[in-house]
A and B are shown apart, each in its own frame.
Chain A
Amino acid sequence: MLERRAVVAKLLEHRGNAVVISGLGSPTYDVAAVSPSERNYYLWGAMGGAAMMGFGLALARADLHVIVITGDGEALMGMGSLATIGANQPRNLSIVVLDNEHYGETGMQQSHLGMGVDLCAVAVACGFTQACAVTTEAELQTAVSTFHKTAATKFLQVKVSPESPPRVMPTRDAVENKITFRQALGAEQSDLITDKE
């Protein structure tokens, strides 16, 4: 079975100038552990909002690959956003669900994805033309090889083992994270330019 942190490391190894939104809980620790960057926005709350945050960012910055890395519980809470994103087809957005079939942060209770629900099929039904479930090392390699080619909205459901690697905790100061992220993208400056006052 794939190990979550190794999966994230492979996906982000050649990220270039890509930006990452991490969903609360383990995905935030995974991204902080293997690919720390000022181009990461770490969510510690707003459960169900990671995909939409990535979508908003993808609309604002069509020149960047926007990667959402989240868990199955977080993705389930925002399932409606798959319809919203599918209806809009942002070519530069990739949604990665690290699916351990459990709510890891709250004591490993089983999630719907371990009870027969097929989230990847939901994504396909919502119009994601590049949606796939990844369960093996070989499938992961195939997914990684085209991951940063931003030709279509991507949805990757990666089955990972329900183990929790040591927590690596990035900043919980959401304001600080916002400012450093915007500075890294030059967004602070661009807003000053559009400001007419």
Chain B
Amino acid sequence: MSSINWQQAVYDVIKSGGINLIGYVPDAGHAALINSAKADDAMRDVVMTSEEEGIPLCAGAWLGGMRSLLLMQSSGVGNCVNMLSLQRTARFPMVILVTMRGEYAEFNPWQIPMGSTTQAVLEICGFKVERVASEAEAAETVQAAIDFAFNSNVGVAVLLSQKMLGRKKWVE
């Protein structure tokens, strides 16, 4: 499956899962999903200055009956920590897709501290975490995360592994 296909498959399950709002801080690994959202008149996309803005964004949307989803890089999970208490205290359904850095073939050591603690941070804050290591399982896992979050009022994060996303090209 080509990289364009798995991202299209993920976008398709986001749509069929009733998501109408995507909040994000850009990451190269999310670029295709962001482009799909921007090209879709039925999808509201919100670029944020910091990932922590996404937690109350999703909570507020849910208060009004709208399903939403967040896209961020692993470093952004660290920016969310106190705000995740909003999800946990009120049991807001929440889905975060996280592109991983600081692992497979990482070039930049500054990515390692947060990348190597992303899953633990999310879990200790009460999120359920699924890790995606291959393109074939990406869409199914995101679909399961959406069902899990909105049927059981939990926060679910899907970590998209750096090995699957591919090495960042530092020199074109």
Given the known inter-chain contacts A84-B47, A87-B47, please indicate yes or no for A57 contacting B90, CB distance below 8 A: no
- Which residue, A43, A46, A64, A190, has most C-beta atoms of chain B within 10 A? A46
Chain A 53-69 interface 0/1 with B at a Cβ cutoff of 8 Å (1 = within)? 11111111100100000
> B65 to A178, Cβ gap below 8 A?
no
Which stretch from B56-64, B102-110, B125-133, B156-164 is at the chain A interface? B56-64
Who on chain A is nearest to B60 by CB?
Answer: A56
Q: Which of B's residues lie within 8 Å of A, judged by CB?
A: 16, 18, 21, 44, 46-50, 52-68, 82-83, 85-86, 89-92, 150-151
Give complex CA distance A80, B66 in Å: 23
Determine which of A49, A61, A174, A195 lies in contact with B64 in the assembled complex, contact meaning CB atoms within 8 Å: A61
Give complex CA distance A87, B45 in Å: 12
Give complex CA distance A48, B16 in Å: 32
Who on chain B is nearest to A68 by CB?
Answer: B60
Determine which of B44, B50, B56, B89 lies in contact with A53 in the assembled complex, contact meaning CB atoms within 8 Å: B56
> B59 to A56, Cβ gap below 8 A?
yes
- Enumerate chain A residues within 8 angstroms of B83, measured Cβ to Cβ: 46, 48-49
> B90 to A178, Cβ gap below 8 A?
yes
Q: Say what secondary structure dominates the interface of chain A.
A: helix
Give complex CA distance A55, B46 in Å: 10
> B89 to A194, Cβ gap below 8 A?
no
> A81 to B89, Cβ gap below 8 A?
no
- Which residue, B21, B55, B66, B82, has most C-beta atoms of chain A within 10 A? B66
Given the known inter-chain contacts A81-B53, A87-B47, please indicate yes or no for A41 contacting B89, CB distance below 8 A: no
Give complex CA distance A188, B66 in Å: 10
Given the known inter-chain contacts A52-B53, A87-B47, please indicate yes or no for A175 contacting B90, CB distance below 8 A: yes
Which stretch from A1-9, A25-33, A103-111, A179-187 is at the chain B interface? A179-187
> B55 to A46, Cβ gap below 8 A?
yes
- Which residue, B46, B64, B151, has most C-beta atoms of chain A within 10 A? B64
- Enumerate chain B residues within 8 angstroms of A170, measured Cβ to Cβ: none
- A50 CB within 8 Å of chain B: yes
- A37 CB within 8 Å of chain B: no
> A178 to B56, Cβ gap below 8 A?
no
Given the known inter-chain contacts A46-B85, A84-B49, please indicate yes or no for A56 contacting B58, CB distance below 8 A: yes
> Smallest distance from the beta carbon of A57 to chain B beta carbons, Å?
4
> Smallest distance from the beta carbon of A24 to chain B beta carbons, Å?
11
